[in-house]
């Protein structure tokens, strides 16, 4: 994965989750894309896994989507990320497409928020 985090941070697209001592637990990257928000990345430190950090970051993205007057979140994941393929539907995301791009088999999801 290649990301220009410096540019994403400067654009306000990166949001952090920290604990009470300001230790980084995870982050989410999202941006406005036409009439929706594109959720690009969610990452949680291994020692913070299974503590609800990832879900909280996704809910934050969804809340920001609504605050910005938009009604949907779009994302994709790699077909090999089988945990994601079951996670996103549990969170209300609907699979809308599968296609091969840039050498990866991607699965596209969307969630309507209104």
pLDDT in 10s for each residue of the chain, 114 residues: 567 878 888 888 999 999 999 999 999 999 999 899 999 999 999 999 989 999 999 999 999 999 999 999 999 999 999 999 999 999 999 999 999 999 999 999 999 998
Global confidence as pTM:
0.90
Distance CA 52, CA 46 (A): 12
CATH of the domain at 69: 3.40.630.30
Which candidate, 25, 20, 113, 105, places its Cα nearest to that of 64? 113
Those residues whose C-beta lies under 8 Å from the C-beta of residue 94, and which sit 6 or more positions away, are 109, 110, 111
How many separate domains does the chain show? 1
Distance CA 92, CA 40 (A): 17
Q: Which domain holds residue 74?
A: 5-112
- The three-state secondary structure class of 79 is coil
């Amino acid at each position: 994965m290649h990301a220009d985090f410096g540019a994403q941070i400067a654009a306000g697209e990166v949001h952090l989750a920290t604990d009470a001592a300001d230790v980084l637990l995870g982050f989410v990257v999202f941006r406005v894309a036409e009439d929706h928000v594109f959720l690009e990345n969610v990452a949680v430190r291994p020692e913070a896994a299974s503590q609800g950090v990832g879900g909280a970051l996704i809910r934050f993205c969804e809340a920001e989507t609504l605050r910005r007057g938009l009604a949907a979140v779009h994302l994709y994941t790699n077909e090999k990320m089988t945990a994601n393929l079951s996670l996103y539907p549990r969170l209300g995301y609907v699979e809308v497409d599968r296609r091969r791009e840039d050498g990866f088999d991607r699965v596209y999801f969307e969630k309507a928020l209104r």
